[in-house]
């Protein structure tokens, strides 16, 4: 039987910002897919382009930012070509985006219940009569205690963890098929983080969601991912099924990240790699990781490495794994895929 088409396929996405000196890419030639019931984690340090990738999928990149290249196929439609009106119908109803800070998505002047009811009604999921009970049911589904009371609370009356639960309830109101969660637990303390991750996992299994989970935390990856895409300076430098990645990380950057998670507990920060992500617009000409890489050799600073495909969903962009380059011969031609 042919394999089912992925729910979301991102192909060769390049998104960047127009500055005085020209176009500066923040996401460079990024490709990945997520299927129903599947969790793909995108992991990388701050500034590596994770949020810009998420915003690109939702078509929420604002000027001076723009999507310069690529295709984003969701449920058979190219999101970069549908009308803004169709996109509005897709946002919130079929694709939900959950942020790090729920307060930016919740309106402080309306109760949690009002906001969930409004979402349900706008998307035709409830009538004025049925919405209040549906809102309570949704709060119960995300394990908010005493939902019939909490539904009358304003966002500031809830704790950080409860607010994130309320936002998840609101996101799920229209039964989306894809949830993009951008650092959903980063602002929360470790115990609450674990609870929210468990909630997401539980909801994903119950609803068969495709989950794109963005994090800087390899502990979260270990808990949640089926597959992992490691992002560095705008590029996916390694992609692998989660076990393969932890058993045998192939990219020096991934190995560096692994070195920074003793025990792999959620909440542990990346800190073992010397140096910082290069600023946008000042990427080195070759492999962007070269200035920090303990294993760099001759070809690395000359041209960005292309992808070596290991099969089984594994790929890596690093000269250590080919394309074969002889250190003594003339500089290799650029192998960057476009």
Ligand X SMILES: Nc1ncnc2c1ncn2[C@@H]1O[C@H](COP(=O)(O)OP(=O)(O)O)[C@@H](O)[C@H]1O
CB 102 within 8 Å of CB 158: no
| Contact range with ligand X by CB under 6 A, out of 50-58, 86-94, 236-244, 326-334 | 50-58
Task: State both tokens at 301.
Answer: 């600073």
Between 50 and 163, CB nearer to ligand X: 50
Min dist. Cβ of residue 240 to ligand SF4 (A): 15
Determine, following the binding rule CB under 5 A, whether residue 48 of this chain makes contact with Mg ion.
Answer: no
What residue 150 binds from ligand SF4, ligand X, Mg ion, none (CB within 5 to 8 A, per partner kind)?
Answer: none
Could you give the 3-state DSSP secondary structure of residue 229? strand
Min dist. Cβ of residue 259 to ligand SF4 (A): 14
Determine, following the binding rule CB under 6 A, whether residue 80 of this chain makes contact with ligand SF4.
Answer: no
| Contact range with ligand X by CB under 6 A, out of 45-53, 73-81, 95-103, 139-147 | 45-53
Determine, following the binding rule CB under 6 A, whether residue 296 of this chain makes contact with ligand SF4.
Answer: yes
Determine, following the binding rule CB under 6 A, whether residue 44 of this chain makes contact with ligand SF4.
Answer: no
Location of structure tokens 């919130």: 92
Determine, following the binding rule CB under 6 A, whether residue 244 of this chain makes contact with ligand X.
Answer: no
Distance CA(172)–CA(169), nearest Å, equals: 5
Residues in contact with ligand X, total (CB under 6 A)? 12
Min dist. Cβ of residue 50 to ligand X (A): 3
Alpha-carbon Rg for the chain in angstroms: 21
Determine, following the binding rule CB under 5 A, whether residue 119 of this chain makes contact with Mg ion.
Answer: no
When binding is defined by CB under 5 A, the residue of 39, 51, 164, 254 that contacts Mg ion is: 51
> Terminus-to-terminus CA distance in the chain, angstroms?
32
Site string for ligand X, 264-283 (x = CB under 6 A): ----------------x---
Determine, following the binding rule CB under 6 A, whether residue 300 of this chain makes contact with ligand SF4.
Answer: yes
Distance CA(270)–CA(261), nearest Å, equals: 7
According to DSSP, the β-strands at 39-43 and 210-215 are parallel
Query: How crowded is residue 32: how many other Cβ atoms within 10 Å of its Cβ?
Result: 19
According to DSSP, the β-strands at 8-19 and 22-34 are antiparallel
**203 contact partners, CB below 8 Å, separation of at least 6:** 141, 142, 168, 172, 209
C-alpha pair distances (Å), 273 with each of 183, 221, 303: 21, 18, 22
Site string for ligand SF4, 228-267 (x = CB under 6 A): -----------------------xx---------------
Min dist. Cβ of residue 232 to ligand X (A): 10
Distance CA(165)–CA(161), nearest Å, equals: 6
Determine, following the binding rule CB under 6 A, whether residue 25 of this chain makes contact with ligand X.
Answer: no
Residues found near Mg ion in the complex (CB under 5 A) = 50-51
């Amino acid at each position: 039987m042919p394999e089912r088409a992925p729910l979301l396929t991102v192909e060769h996405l390049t998104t960047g910002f127009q500055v005085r000196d020209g176009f500066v890419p923040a996401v460079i030639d990024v490709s990945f897919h997520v299927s129903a019931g599947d969790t793909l984690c995108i992991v990388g340090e701050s500034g590596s382009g994770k949020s810009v990738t998420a915003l690109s999928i939702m078509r929420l990149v604002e000027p001076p930012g723009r999507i310069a290249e690529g295709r984003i196929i969701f449920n058979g439609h190219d999101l970069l070509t549908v009308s803004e009106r169709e996109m509005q119908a897709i946002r919130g109803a079929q694709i939900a985006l959950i942020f790090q800070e729920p307060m930016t998505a919740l309106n402080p002047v309306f109760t949690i219940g009002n906001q969930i009811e409004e979402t349900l009604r706008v998307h035709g999921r409830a009538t004025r009569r049925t919405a209040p009970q549906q809102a309570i049911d949704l709060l119960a589904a995300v394990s908010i205690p005493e939902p019939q009371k909490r539904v009358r609370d304003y966002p500031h009356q809830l704790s950080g963890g409860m607010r994130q639960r309320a936002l998840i309830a609101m996101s799920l109101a229209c039964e989306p098929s894809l949830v993009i969660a951008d650092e959903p637990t980063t602002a929360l303390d470790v115990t609450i983080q674990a609870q929210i991750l468990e909630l997401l996992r539980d909801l994903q299994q119950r609803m068969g969601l495709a989950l794109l989970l963005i994090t800087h935390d390899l502990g979260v990856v270990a808990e949640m991912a089926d597959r992992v895409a490691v992002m560095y300076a705008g590029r996916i430098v390694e992609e692998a099924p989660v076990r393969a990645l932890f058993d045998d990380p192939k990219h020096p950057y991934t190995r560096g990240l692994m070195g920074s998670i003793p025990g792999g507990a959620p909440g542990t920060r990346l800190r073992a790699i010397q140096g910082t992500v290069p600023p946008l617009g000042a990427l080195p000409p070759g492999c962007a990781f070269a200035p920090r890489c303990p294993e760099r050799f001759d070809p690395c600073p000359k041209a960005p490495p292309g992808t070596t495909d290991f099969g089984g969903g594994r790929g890596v962009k690093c000269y250590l794994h080919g394309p074969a380059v002889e250190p003594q011969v003339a500089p290799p031609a650029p192998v960057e895929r476009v």
